[in-house]
């Protein structure tokens, strides 16, 4: 474990909010999407986070029947939208700070 990979781990969670904002997703889709960006996360981390973010009001969950399969689709809420902008503002600060160097 090094600082970069540790930093990426934190970014994964932020990305859950990021993606929810673009379009509703379900667990497996998100996991694969994150993997495409070299973000590995295990089910045992992902699903508890989805539940936590739903319970905290950042995400809304809706079960949908897709070709006979039940999928839980997660979408952004107003609180989640608000939180995204906090993340974005923080990321801007961080970026500027690092760019000075």
Partner DNA sequence: AGATCGATATCGATTATCGATATTATAAAA
Partner DNA sequence: TTTTATAATATCGATAATCGATATCGATCT
Site for DNA in 41-100 (CB under 7 A): 41-45, 47-51, 65-72
Residues in contact with 72: Cβ distance below 8 Å, sequence separation at least 6, in sequence order: 26, 27, 50, 61, 62, 63, 64
Which positions ≥6 away from 79 have C-beta within 8 Å? 56, 57, 58
13 binds DNA (CB under 7 A): yes
Q: With CB cut-offs between 5 and 8 Å by kind, which of a second copy, DNA, none does residue 36 bind?
A: none
Beta bridge pairs of residue 29: none
- Could you count the other beta carbons within 10 Å of the beta carbon of residue 10? 9
3 binds DNA (CB under 7 A): no
Residue 5: CB minimum distance to DNA, A: 10
Provide the binding-site residues for a second copy, judged by CB under 8 A.
1-4, 6-11, 13-14, 16-18, 21-22, 52-53, 56, 58, 83-84, 86-88, 90-92, 94-95, 97-99, 101
């Amino acid at each position: 474990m090094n600082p970069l990979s540790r930093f990426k781990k934190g970014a994964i969670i932020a990305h859950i909010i990021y993606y929810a904002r673009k379009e509703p997703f379900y667990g497996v889709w998100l996991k694969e999407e994150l993997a495409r960006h070299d973000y590995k996360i295990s089910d045992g981390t992902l699903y508890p986070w989805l539940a936590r973010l739903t319970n905290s009001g950042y995400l809304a969950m809706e079960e949908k029947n897709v070709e006979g399969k039940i999928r839980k689709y997660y979408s952004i809420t107003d609180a989640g939208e608000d939180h995204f902008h906090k993340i974005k503002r923080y990321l801007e600060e961080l970026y500027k700070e690092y760019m000075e160097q």
